[in-house]
Structures are given as structure tokens and as C-alpha cells.
Amino acid sequence: MATLTFSNISMRFPDGTEALSDVSFGVSRGEFVTIVGPSGCGKSTLLKIAAGLLDATAGSVDVDRNGIGYVFQDATLMPWRTVRRNVELLAELHGVDKDERQRLASEAIDLVGLSGFENHYPKSLSGGMKMRASLARTLTMKPPVFLFDEPFGAVDEITRERLNEETLRLFEAEKFAGLFITHSISEAVFLSTKVYVMSARPGRLVASFDVPFGYPRSPEIRFDPRFAELSGEISHALRGAHS
Ligand SMILES: Nc1ncnc2c1ncn2[C@@H]1O[C@H](COP(=O)(O)OP(=O)(O)OP(=O)(O)O)[C@@H](O)[C@H]1O
Ligand SMILES: [Mg+2]
């Protein structure tokens, strides 16, 4: 059994909007699965169902809800807390004692490259730095299942590439079960073991691609001909999914 398993998930909102139709797949530890699909096809809805924030109309999710880390599209930091205190927040809410949560926070801040900014407030951070802080906050919980909802959609291309490289390093270190949502095909290929294409609403999985690169992964794979070839195939499937 995978760490996170969706079985025949369908979702219809009370207003009649059909968001998902019969979605089934699993993500095991050491797998990094990315979903790409047209805007409004039900990707965020699927993550919310995984996290227990929404109940599916049909089908079931099998996952240990205590072990889920969720990185939202916006960094959702508390403006009155410093970077360190924001990163400590989840551990604090889980009752981890002060010494241990400070240790976890320092380790996570170091991993995401924010050392030296511990005492800064969110308002003095760039968008990319805020996302790093948000990632670090989730990392302190060492979640076996990591859900990412378009975390890097709002940063420039170079910053996004750097954040992708950091995400890769986190994955290589922690080997969580990763489920990632993005509109960027290159980001999907760069990070993942597998990429699914979702159809327009109601979202269904219409294509699946195995990524032929192992881990640890070098940034250089972006220049590998297989990278371009796979990106082209996914782009083609995605164009089909829009119609
Ligand atoms: N609470 C809700 N009530 C009714 N409809 C909803 C609700 N939440 C989402 N929807 C609808 O369900 C569909 C899927 O929404 P969702 O946010 O999952 O899309 P998405 O694939 O994440 O899109 P994007 O790529 O733009 O983030 C959309 O048509 C949206 O309007
Ligand atoms: Mg969304």
C-alpha cells in the first residue's frame, strides 16, 4: 500500500460544480508525483481532500493524517513573528518543548538557506524568502507526506529554479512521499519521479509520464535531451487536456 492512496475520488460541490471525477493513484515514500492541469480542473481540491480539509463525494483516501505537511500557494506567515518564530510555529502547536523546537527550526532554516535571517520579520523578506520560511516551517514536522500546492508560482524564473533545487535536496534528504501541483512543466520534470496530466474540469488523470532521471539529481539534467523530449510530450498531453 502506498503512503498516500486515492481510490476513485469524485468531488461535486454543493452548488453542483463537479471538480473531480474518478481519480485513483498512490504516492509512496521516495516518490515525488506532480500533477499538471488546466486552471480550475480540481488540483487544489484534490490536495484539500488528501489533507482532510474537504470530504470527497465519492471514493476514499488512505493516509495517516498526522503525517501530512502542506505548503500552500501563499506563504501564510504570521507578520508579528520573526522567521525563527514562524518556523517554530507548527512544532509549538504540536507541543514540542522549547529546546527541541529551536533545534528543529535551526536545522530547517539552514536547509532552506535562510540562515542569517532568523530575526527578520516577514515584511522585510522577498517572496522567495517567504516561501523558504514556509517550507522550513513544514519541514520541522518531518512529514512523511508532503503536499505542495503551486508553492513557487509567484517568484521569478531564476528564484524558482533555486527553490526547485532546494526542494530536490529536501526530498533527497527526507525521502517523503511528495505530491506537487504546478503549471510549470520544467519544474514538474525537474523534481518528479512521475508526472500526471489532469483534464479540464471535472479533473481526471488523462496521461502519466515516468521521469527517467534518478536521485541525487543535478541541475544539469535541464540540459539533457531527454528532459526536453519529455517536457514536449507533457506539453502535448496538456494541450489535449485543455480542449
Ligand atoms: N468551495 C467551493 N464551492 C464551489 N466550487 C468550488 C469550491 N472550491 C473550488 N470550487 C470549484 O472547483 C473547481 C476546481 O477548483 P480548484 O481550486 O481545485 O482548481 P485548481 O485546479 O486548483 O485551479 P488553479 O490551477 O487555478 O489553482 C473550480 O471550478 C472551482 O471554482
Ligand atoms: Mg489551485
CA of 138 to the centre of ligand 1 (A): 24
Same domain, 103 and 219: no
Nearest CA to ligand 1 atom 31: 40
| 172 and 103 fall within a common domain | no
Domain interval for residue 163: 4-64+144-242
* Residue 74 contacts residue 151 (beta carbons within 8 Å): no
- Ligand 1 pocket (Cβ < 6 Å) reads 13, 15, 17, 19, 39-45, 201
Give the number of residues written for the chain.
243
Q: Which of 142, 167, 189 is the last residue of a domain?
A: 142
* Same domain flag for 56 and 101: no
Q: Which of 6, 17, 54, 148 best tests ligand 1's pocket when mutated (most atoms within 8 Å of CB)? A: 17
- Assessment of whether the complete model's pTM goes beyond 0.85: yes
Please report, for the domain that includes residue 195, its CATH number.
Answer: 3.40.50.300
Residue having the nearest C-alpha atom to atom 4 of ligand 1:
13
Ranges of the chain whose pLDDT falls below 50: none
The 10s digit of each residue's pLDDT in 87-127 is 999 899 889 999 999 999 999 998 888 999 999 999 999 98
d(CA 53, CA 153): 22
Domain end marker among 122, 142, 162 = 142
Question: What pLDDT digit, counting tens, does each position of 25-54 carry?
Answer: 999 999 999 999 999 999 999 999 999 999
Tell how far the Cα of 158 is from the centroid of ligand 2, in angstroms: 22
Number of domains in the chain: 2
133 within some domain? yes
Domain identity same for 227 and 161: yes
Q: How much is the pLDDT for 139?
A: 87
Looking at residue 186, its pLDDT comes to 95
Co-location of 12 and 125 in the same domain: no
Per cent of the chain over pLDDT 70 is 100
151 and 236 in one domain? yes
Domain boundary among 142, 157, 192: 142
Number of the ligand 1 atom closest to the C-alpha atom of 17: 5
